[in-house]
Protein backbone atom coordinates (compact mmCIF):
# COMPACT_ATOMS: atom_id res chain seq x y z
CA UNK A 1 0.00 0.00 0.00
CA UNK A 2 1.30 3.45 -0.82
CA UNK A 3 0.18 6.55 1.08
CA UNK A 4 0.79 10.16 0.09
CA UNK A 5 1.54 12.49 3.03
CA UNK A 6 0.05 15.96 2.50
CA UNK A 7 2.58 18.79 2.39
CA UNK A 8 2.11 21.48 5.07
CA UNK A 9 1.39 25.10 4.21
CA UNK A 10 3.99 27.87 4.07
CA UNK A 11 7.62 27.33 3.23
CA UNK A 12 7.34 23.69 4.12
CA UNK A 13 4.74 23.39 1.38
CA UNK A 14 7.55 23.54 -1.14
CA UNK A 15 8.78 20.16 0.10
CA UNK A 16 7.83 17.13 -1.93
CA UNK A 17 5.17 14.80 -0.62
CA UNK A 18 6.53 11.81 1.22
CA UNK A 19 5.60 8.36 0.02
CA UNK A 20 5.32 5.76 2.75
CA UNK A 21 5.41 2.23 1.41
CA UNK A 22 4.51 -0.92 3.27
CA UNK A 23 5.88 -4.12 1.77
CA UNK A 24 4.09 -6.34 4.27
CA UNK A 25 0.64 -6.30 2.72
CA UNK A 26 -0.46 -9.91 2.38
CA UNK A 27 -0.90 -11.52 -1.02
CA UNK A 28 -4.53 -12.32 -0.26
CA UNK A 29 -5.25 -8.68 0.54
CA UNK A 30 -3.61 -7.48 -2.65
CA UNK A 31 -5.51 -10.05 -4.70
CA UNK A 32 -8.69 -8.70 -3.06
CA UNK A 33 -7.68 -5.16 -4.09
CA UNK A 34 -7.23 -6.37 -7.66
CA UNK A 35 -10.67 -7.96 -7.56
CA UNK A 36 -12.20 -4.73 -6.28
CA UNK A 37 -10.48 -2.92 -9.16
CA UNK A 38 -11.72 -5.39 -11.79
CA UNK A 39 -13.64 -2.64 -13.60
CA UNK A 40 -10.38 -0.72 -14.00
CA UNK A 41 -8.76 -3.90 -15.29
CA UNK A 42 -11.46 -4.33 -17.92
CA UNK A 43 -11.16 -0.66 -18.91
CA UNK A 44 -7.40 -1.05 -19.37
CA UNK A 45 -7.91 -4.15 -21.49
CA UNK A 46 -10.46 -2.47 -23.75
CA UNK A 47 -8.33 0.68 -23.96
CA UNK A 48 -5.24 -1.31 -24.88
CA UNK A 49 -7.11 -3.04 -27.70
CA UNK A 50 -8.62 0.21 -29.00
CA UNK A 51 -5.31 2.08 -28.91
CA UNK A 52 -3.46 -0.73 -30.65
CA UNK A 53 -5.77 -0.58 -33.66
CA UNK A 54 -6.70 3.11 -33.55
CA UNK A 55 -7.15 4.60 -37.03
CA UNK A 56 -6.59 1.15 -38.51
CA UNK A 57 -8.87 0.22 -41.40
CA UNK A 58 -8.78 -3.53 -40.69
CA UNK A 59 -8.80 -3.16 -36.90
CA UNK A 60 -8.94 -6.49 -35.06
CA UNK A 61 -8.36 -8.34 -38.31
CA UNK A 62 -4.66 -7.58 -37.88
CA UNK A 63 -4.65 -9.69 -34.71
CA UNK A 64 -5.67 -12.62 -36.90
CA UNK A 65 -3.31 -11.97 -39.80
CA UNK A 66 -0.10 -12.34 -37.77
CA UNK A 67 -0.86 -15.83 -36.37
CA UNK A 68 -2.37 -16.81 -39.71
CA UNK A 69 0.87 -15.86 -41.46
CA UNK A 70 2.89 -17.83 -38.90
CA UNK A 71 0.57 -20.76 -39.44
CA UNK A 72 1.05 -20.62 -43.21
CA UNK A 73 4.85 -20.36 -42.94
CA UNK A 74 5.19 -23.27 -40.49
CA UNK A 75 2.74 -25.37 -42.49
CA UNK A 76 4.69 -24.77 -45.70
CA UNK A 77 8.10 -25.39 -44.10
CA UNK A 78 7.29 -28.46 -42.04
CA UNK A 79 4.32 -29.83 -43.95
CA UNK A 80 5.66 -29.46 -47.48
CA UNK A 81 9.34 -28.45 -47.63
CA UNK A 82 10.61 -30.71 -44.83
CA UNK A 83 7.77 -33.20 -45.32
CA UNK A 84 7.13 -34.43 -41.79
CA UNK A 85 4.27 -36.43 -43.27
CA UNK A 86 1.71 -35.61 -40.57
CA UNK A 87 -1.83 -35.78 -42.00
CA UNK A 88 -3.64 -32.45 -41.76
CA UNK A 89 -0.57 -30.95 -40.12
CA UNK A 90 -2.15 -27.48 -40.16
CA UNK A 91 -4.71 -28.61 -37.54
CA UNK A 92 -2.04 -30.05 -35.24
CA UNK A 93 0.01 -26.87 -35.68
CA UNK A 94 -2.86 -24.47 -35.04
CA UNK A 95 -3.81 -26.40 -31.89
CA UNK A 96 -0.43 -25.65 -30.36
CA UNK A 97 -0.21 -22.10 -31.71
CA UNK A 98 -3.42 -21.17 -29.91
CA UNK A 99 -1.70 -21.83 -26.61
CA UNK A 100 1.61 -20.33 -27.66
CA UNK A 101 0.19 -17.08 -29.02
CA UNK A 102 -1.71 -16.45 -25.78
CA UNK A 103 1.40 -17.08 -23.70
CA UNK A 104 3.80 -15.15 -25.92
CA UNK A 105 1.56 -12.11 -26.33
CA UNK A 106 0.85 -11.97 -22.59
CA UNK A 107 4.46 -12.21 -21.48
CA UNK A 108 6.06 -9.96 -24.09
CA UNK A 109 3.48 -7.20 -23.63
CA UNK A 110 3.36 -7.41 -19.84
CA UNK A 111 7.14 -7.21 -19.39
CA UNK A 112 7.16 -3.54 -20.37
CA UNK A 113 3.74 -2.70 -18.91
CA UNK A 114 4.99 -0.75 -15.88
CA UNK A 115 7.75 1.08 -17.77
CA UNK A 116 5.45 1.98 -20.65
CA UNK A 117 2.86 3.40 -18.25
CA UNK A 118 5.29 5.38 -16.10
CA UNK A 119 3.12 8.49 -16.14
CA UNK A 120 0.11 6.58 -14.85
CA UNK A 121 2.16 4.83 -12.16
CA UNK A 122 3.51 8.14 -10.84
CA UNK A 123 0.21 10.02 -10.74
CA UNK A 124 -2.58 7.59 -9.92
CA UNK A 125 -3.00 5.24 -6.97
CA UNK A 126 -4.23 1.77 -7.96
CA UNK A 127 -2.99 -1.83 -7.75
CA UNK A 128 0.00 -1.73 -10.09
CA UNK A 129 -0.35 -5.43 -10.87
CA UNK A 130 -3.39 -4.54 -12.97
CA UNK A 131 -1.10 -3.14 -15.68
CA UNK A 132 0.52 -6.55 -16.15
CA UNK A 133 -2.78 -8.40 -15.87
CA UNK A 134 -4.29 -6.13 -18.52
CA UNK A 135 -1.75 -7.54 -20.97
CA UNK A 136 -2.96 -11.05 -20.16
CA UNK A 137 -6.54 -9.86 -20.58
CA UNK A 138 -5.96 -8.35 -24.01
CA UNK A 139 -4.07 -11.47 -25.10
CA UNK A 140 -7.07 -13.52 -23.98
CA UNK A 141 -9.34 -11.43 -26.23
CA UNK A 142 -7.06 -12.14 -29.18
CA UNK A 143 -7.08 -15.81 -28.18
CA UNK A 144 -10.87 -15.81 -28.51
CA UNK A 145 -10.74 -14.42 -32.05
CA UNK A 146 -8.02 -16.87 -33.05
CA UNK A 147 -10.13 -19.70 -31.64
CA UNK A 148 -12.95 -18.56 -33.93
CA UNK A 149 -10.55 -18.81 -36.87
CA UNK A 150 -9.64 -22.30 -35.64
CA UNK A 151 -13.31 -23.29 -35.80
CA UNK A 152 -13.51 -22.02 -39.38
CA UNK A 153 -10.44 -24.10 -40.28
CA UNK A 154 -12.06 -27.20 -38.81
CA UNK A 155 -15.26 -26.59 -40.76
CA UNK A 156 -13.41 -25.90 -44.02
CA UNK A 157 -11.31 -29.07 -43.70
CA UNK A 158 -14.29 -31.07 -42.37
CA UNK A 159 -12.15 -32.11 -39.42
CA UNK A 160 -13.94 -33.62 -36.44
CA UNK A 161 -12.42 -32.76 -33.04
CA UNK A 162 -12.98 -34.85 -29.93
CA UNK A 163 -16.35 -33.41 -28.92
CA UNK A 164 -16.52 -35.70 -25.92
CA UNK A 165 -13.28 -34.18 -24.61
CA UNK A 166 -14.21 -30.51 -25.07
CA UNK A 167 -14.29 -30.04 -21.29
CA UNK A 168 -10.51 -30.39 -21.36
CA UNK A 169 -10.17 -26.98 -23.07
CA UNK A 170 -11.24 -24.92 -20.01
CA UNK A 171 -9.38 -27.40 -17.80
CA UNK A 172 -6.18 -26.49 -19.65
CA UNK A 173 -7.04 -22.81 -20.17
CA UNK A 174 -7.29 -22.01 -16.45
CA UNK A 175 -3.71 -23.06 -15.55
CA UNK A 176 -2.47 -21.37 -18.73
CA UNK A 177 -3.99 -18.03 -17.66
CA UNK A 178 -2.66 -18.40 -14.12
CA UNK A 179 0.82 -19.20 -15.41
CA UNK A 180 0.71 -16.26 -17.83
CA UNK A 181 -0.41 -13.97 -15.01
CA UNK A 182 2.41 -15.14 -12.75
CA UNK A 183 5.01 -14.57 -15.46
CA UNK A 184 3.48 -11.20 -16.39
CA UNK A 185 3.46 -9.82 -12.84
CA UNK A 186 6.99 -11.01 -12.05
CA UNK A 187 8.59 -9.79 -15.27
CA UNK A 188 6.78 -6.44 -15.21
CA UNK A 189 8.19 -5.70 -11.75
CA UNK A 190 11.75 -6.88 -12.42
CA UNK A 191 11.92 -5.02 -15.74
CA UNK A 192 11.52 -1.70 -13.92
CA UNK A 193 14.91 -2.25 -12.28
CA UNK A 194 16.63 -4.34 -14.97
CA UNK A 195 15.58 -3.07 -18.39
CA UNK A 196 17.57 -5.83 -20.13
CA UNK A 197 14.93 -8.29 -18.92
CA UNK A 198 12.59 -7.20 -21.71
CA UNK A 199 15.21 -7.92 -24.36
CA UNK A 200 16.17 -11.20 -22.71
CA UNK A 201 12.60 -12.45 -22.53
CA UNK A 202 12.07 -11.58 -26.21
CA UNK A 203 14.98 -13.88 -27.07
CA UNK A 204 13.97 -16.69 -24.71
CA UNK A 205 10.24 -16.67 -25.51
CA UNK A 206 10.70 -15.86 -29.17
CA UNK A 207 13.04 -18.76 -29.87
CA UNK A 208 14.15 -21.32 -27.28
CA UNK A 209 10.90 -21.72 -25.35
CA UNK A 210 8.85 -22.16 -28.50
CA UNK A 211 10.89 -25.16 -29.61
CA UNK A 212 10.59 -26.69 -26.15
CA UNK A 213 6.85 -27.16 -26.81
CA UNK A 214 5.39 -29.93 -29.04
CA UNK A 215 3.91 -27.52 -31.58
CA UNK A 216 5.69 -28.07 -34.90
CA UNK A 217 6.56 -31.65 -34.03
CA UNK A 218 4.74 -34.56 -32.42
CA UNK A 219 5.42 -35.48 -28.79
CA UNK A 220 4.66 -39.17 -29.22
CA UNK A 221 6.47 -39.51 -32.55
CA UNK A 222 9.59 -37.43 -31.84
CA UNK A 223 10.07 -36.74 -28.12
CA UNK A 224 8.86 -39.87 -26.37
CA UNK A 225 11.05 -42.47 -28.15
CA UNK A 226 14.25 -40.49 -27.67
CA UNK A 227 13.87 -39.17 -24.13
CA UNK A 228 12.27 -42.28 -22.65
CA UNK A 229 15.19 -44.32 -23.92
CA UNK A 230 17.50 -42.25 -21.70
CA UNK A 231 14.97 -42.06 -18.84
CA UNK A 232 14.82 -38.26 -18.92
CA UNK A 233 11.28 -37.83 -20.15
CA UNK A 234 10.46 -35.98 -16.93
CA UNK A 235 12.83 -33.23 -18.03
CA UNK A 236 10.58 -32.37 -20.96
CA UNK A 237 7.61 -31.86 -18.65
CA UNK A 238 9.40 -29.24 -16.57
CA UNK A 239 8.00 -26.88 -19.18
CA UNK A 240 4.52 -25.95 -17.84
CA UNK A 241 3.26 -25.29 -21.36
CA UNK A 242 3.89 -28.86 -22.53
CA UNK A 243 0.82 -30.53 -20.89
CA UNK A 244 -1.37 -27.60 -21.91
CA UNK A 245 -0.31 -27.75 -25.56
CA UNK A 246 -0.81 -31.51 -25.56
CA UNK A 247 -4.29 -31.10 -24.08
CA UNK A 248 -5.33 -28.70 -26.84
CA UNK A 249 -3.93 -31.09 -29.43
CA UNK A 250 -5.80 -34.00 -27.84
CA UNK A 251 -9.12 -32.18 -28.18
CA UNK A 252 -8.65 -30.43 -31.53
CA UNK A 253 -6.41 -32.80 -33.51
CA UNK A 254 -7.96 -35.79 -31.75
CA UNK A 255 -5.93 -38.56 -33.38
CA UNK A 256 -4.55 -40.76 -30.60
CA UNK A 257 -4.20 -43.97 -32.62
CA UNK A 258 -1.87 -44.92 -35.45
CA UNK A 259 -2.08 -42.71 -38.52
CA UNK A 260 -0.70 -43.04 -42.03
CA UNK A 261 2.08 -40.55 -42.69
CA UNK A 262 1.63 -38.82 -46.02
CA UNK A 263 5.29 -39.19 -47.04
CA UNK A 264 5.84 -42.14 -49.41
CA UNK A 265 7.33 -45.29 -47.93
CA UNK A 266 6.71 -44.36 -44.30
CA UNK A 267 4.85 -46.71 -41.98
CA UNK A 268 2.12 -45.96 -39.52
CA UNK A 269 2.98 -43.64 -36.66
CA UNK A 270 1.40 -42.47 -33.43
CA UNK A 271 1.41 -38.68 -33.11
CA UNK A 272 -0.50 -38.17 -29.85
CA UNK A 273 -0.23 -40.28 -26.69
CA UNK A 274 -3.10 -42.64 -25.98
CA UNK A 275 -3.79 -41.18 -22.54
CA UNK A 276 -7.31 -41.10 -21.20
CA UNK A 277 -9.03 -37.83 -20.35
CA UNK A 278 -8.21 -37.95 -16.66
CA UNK A 279 -4.50 -38.21 -17.34
CA UNK A 280 -4.72 -34.83 -19.06
CA UNK A 281 -6.79 -33.49 -16.16
CA UNK A 282 -4.13 -34.64 -13.69
CA UNK A 283 -1.32 -33.16 -15.77
CA UNK A 284 -3.11 -29.80 -16.07
CA UNK A 285 -3.95 -29.88 -12.35
CA UNK A 286 -0.25 -30.18 -11.57
CA UNK A 287 0.46 -27.21 -13.84
CA UNK A 288 -2.29 -25.27 -12.05
CA UNK A 289 -0.81 -26.04 -8.63
CA UNK A 290 2.66 -24.97 -9.76
CA UNK A 291 1.25 -21.86 -11.42
CA UNK A 292 -0.59 -20.83 -8.25
CA UNK A 293 2.66 -21.10 -6.28
CA UNK A 294 4.44 -19.06 -8.94
CA UNK A 295 1.62 -16.51 -8.89
CA UNK A 296 1.90 -16.10 -5.13
CA UNK A 297 5.69 -15.76 -5.44
CA UNK A 298 5.28 -13.19 -8.23
CA UNK A 299 2.88 -11.18 -6.07
CA UNK A 300 5.39 -11.20 -3.20
CA UNK A 301 8.21 -10.03 -5.48
CA UNK A 302 5.98 -7.37 -7.03
CA UNK A 303 4.97 -6.11 -3.57
CA UNK A 304 8.60 -5.83 -2.49
CA UNK A 305 9.64 -3.93 -5.60
CA UNK A 306 6.60 -1.75 -6.18
CA UNK A 307 7.50 0.76 -3.47
CA UNK A 308 10.23 2.39 -5.53
CA UNK A 309 8.66 2.19 -8.97
CA UNK A 310 8.13 5.94 -9.13
CA UNK A 311 11.79 6.64 -8.30
CA UNK A 312 13.08 4.09 -10.81
CA UNK A 313 10.80 5.35 -13.56
User: What residues does 260 pair with on adjacent strands?
Assistant: 268
Distance from first CA to last CA of the chain, Å, rounded? 18
Residue 23 has pLDDT above 60, yes or no: no
Tell me what the mean pLDDT of segment 112-121 comes to.
86
- Residue 4 domain flag: no
Q: What is the pLDDT of residues 232-255, one digit of tens each?
A: 999 999 999 999 999 999 999 998
* 8 Å CB contact between 207 and 216: no
pTM, 2 dp: 0.86
CA angle (145 as vertex; 142, 150 as ends), nearest 5: 120
Q: Looking at the domain assignment, is residue 255 inside a domain?
A: yes
pLDDT at 187: 95
Ranked by mean pLDDT, which of 3-17, 18-32, 260-274 comes out on top? 260-274
Q: Is residue 296 part of a domain?
A: yes
Domain of 73 in residue numbering reads as 27-306
Taking CA atoms, 39 is separated from 35, 144, 303, in Å, by 9, 20, 21
Whether the CB-CB separation of 7 and 17 falls below 8 Å is answered with yes
Percent of the chain with pLDDT over 70: 85
Total of domains in the chain: 1
Is residue 17 a part of any domain in this protein?
Answer: no
**What is the C-alpha to C-alpha distance for residues 276 and 98, in angstroms, rounded to an integer?**
22
Residue 150 domain-assigned (yes or no): yes
For the cut 70, the answer to whether the pLDDT of residue 196 exceeds it is yes
Average pLDDT of the chain, as a whole number: 84
129 has pLDDT over 50? yes
Tell me the pLDDT tens digit for each residue of 205-215: 877 899 999 99
**Res 169 pLDDT > 50:** yes
3 within a domain of the structure (yes/no): no
Q: Region of 88 please: left (phi>0), alpha (psi -120 to 50) or beta.
A: left
In a domain, 115, yes or no: yes
pLDDT band at 258 (very low <50, low <70, confident <90, very high): confident
Question: Which residue, 192, 201, 188, is CA-closest to 111?
Answer: 188
Q: Look at residue 16 and tell me if it is in a domain.
A: no
Pairwise pLDDT comparison (102 vs 56), residue with the higher score = 102
Percent of the chain exceeding pLDDT 90 equals 41
Amino acid sequence: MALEAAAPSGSAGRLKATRVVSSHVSVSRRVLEIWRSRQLLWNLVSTEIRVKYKNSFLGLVWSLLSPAMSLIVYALVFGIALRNGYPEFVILLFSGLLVWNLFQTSVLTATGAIVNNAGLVKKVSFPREILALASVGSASVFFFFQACVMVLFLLALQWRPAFGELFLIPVALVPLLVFCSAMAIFLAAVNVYLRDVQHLIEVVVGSAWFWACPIVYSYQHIVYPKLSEHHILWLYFLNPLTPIVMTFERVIYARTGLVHLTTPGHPLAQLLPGWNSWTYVEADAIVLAVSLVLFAGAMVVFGRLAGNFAEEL
